[in-house]
């Protein structure tokens, strides 16, 4: 039972990670159109770029996602069956009932990563300068 609960926690963390990457990009694009200043925050933008960069890196090298590996190990420890492949591939397969080769997901990850990199140019990160600091006035 403890393994199953831990596996569910790992899945929730995994879903949050994917949500941060996907909805982060959507927020950046919407924020550009709507004039949201927070989307230019360097901590948010660098974290977002690092998150998709890690996915692209592991996918390009053919490394299984550590969260998927951990979840599978916990599910097996709980007496459940794990699943093969990567997290997004598994859930996309469940949604559309179509099995795609791993390289298709690698291409998707890399294209998404490229979009995130392009947002750095389209929506530049703003780093506060000391000249605009209220304490310097």
137 is a domain residue = no
Print burial letters for 26-44: b (CB count within 10 Å at least 16), e (below 16).
ebbeebeeeeeeebbbeeb
Distances (CA, A) of 98 to 28, 81, 89, 90: 30, 20, 10, 10
pLDDT for the residue 10: 87
pLDDT for the residue 135: 44
Largest CA distance in the chain: 64
114 is a domain residue = yes
132 is a domain residue = no
102 is a domain residue = yes
pLDDT for the residue 137: 38
136 is a domain residue = no
Domain count within the chain: 1
The range of the structural domain enclosing residue 47 comes to 2-126
39 is a domain residue = yes
pLDDT digits (tens, 9 = 90+) for 74-132: 988 888 776 655 566 566 546 544 567 889 989 999 999 999 999 999 999 998 765 54
Report the mean per-residue pLDDT for the chain: 84
Mean pLDDT of 18-22: 94
């Amino acid at each position: 039972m403890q393994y199953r609960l831990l596996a569910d926690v790992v899945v929730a963390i995994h879903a949050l990670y994917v949500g941060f990457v996907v909805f982060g990009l959507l927020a950046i694009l919407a924020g550009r159109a709507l004039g949201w200043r927070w989307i230019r925050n360097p901590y948010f933008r660098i974290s977002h770029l690092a998150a998709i960069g890690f996915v692209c890196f592991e996918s390009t090298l053919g490394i299984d996602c550590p969260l998927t590996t951990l979840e599978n190990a916990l599910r097996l420890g709980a007496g459940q069956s794990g699943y093969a492949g990567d997290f997004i591939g598994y859930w996309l397969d469940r949604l559309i009932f179509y099995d795609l080769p791993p390289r298709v997901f690698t291409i998707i990850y890399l294209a998404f990563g490229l979009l995130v990199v392009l947002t750095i140019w389209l929506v530049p990160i703003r780093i506060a300068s000391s000249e605009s600091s209220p304490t310097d006035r």
